[in-house]
Structure 1
Amino acid sequence: MATTCLVVMGVAGSGKSTVARLLADRLGLPMAEADEFHPAANIAKMSAGVPLTDADREPWLRALRDWISEHDAAGRGSVVTCSALKRSYRDLLREASARVRFVHLSGTREVIAARMASRSGHFMPPSLLDSQFAALEPLGDDEDGITVDVAASPSRIVETVCEGLDR
Structure 2
Amino acid sequence: MGVSGSGKTTVGVRLADVLGVEYAEGDDFHPSANVAKMAAGTPLDDADRAPWLDALAAWMAERSGRGAVVTCSALKRIYRHRLRASAPDAFFLHLNVPRTELERRVAGRRGHFMPPILLDSQLATLEPLDSGENGSTVDAARPPEEVVRQAVAALDR
Do these two structures clear the TM 0.5 threshold for a shared fold by scoring above it? yes
Which residue of structure 1 aligns with residue 150 of structure 2?
160
The 5 Å alignment of 1:17-56 reads 17-56=9-48
Q: Which of the residues 6, 18, 25 maps onto 1:14? A: 6
Q: Which of the residues 94, 114, 124 maps onto 1:124? A: 114
Distance 1:70 1:163 in 2: 25
Give the number of aligned pairs.
157
Paired letter, 1:129:
L
Higher normalized strand content (fraction of residues): 1
Which residue of structure 2 aligns with residue 138 of structure 1?
128
Q: Which runs of 4 or more aligned residues in structure 1 lie more than 2 Å from their structure 2 counterparts after TM superposition?
A: none
CA deviation map 1:23-77 (0-9, x unaligned):
00000100111100000100000000000000000110000000011122xx521
Distance 1:105 1:62 in 2: 22
Gapped regions of structure 1 (runs ≥ 5): 1-8
Distance 1:23 1:87 in 2: 23
SS of residue paired to 1:10: coil
TM-score, normalising length from structure 2? 0.97
RMSD: 0.9
What's the % identity of the aligned pairs? 57
Deviation at 1:155, TM superposition (A): 0.3
SS of residue paired to 1:103: strand
Q: Which of the residues 55, 68, 71 maps onto 2:60? A: 68
Which residue of structure 2 aligns with residue 77 of structure 1?
67
TM-score, normalising length from structure 1? 0.92
Distance 1:135 1:106 in 2: 14
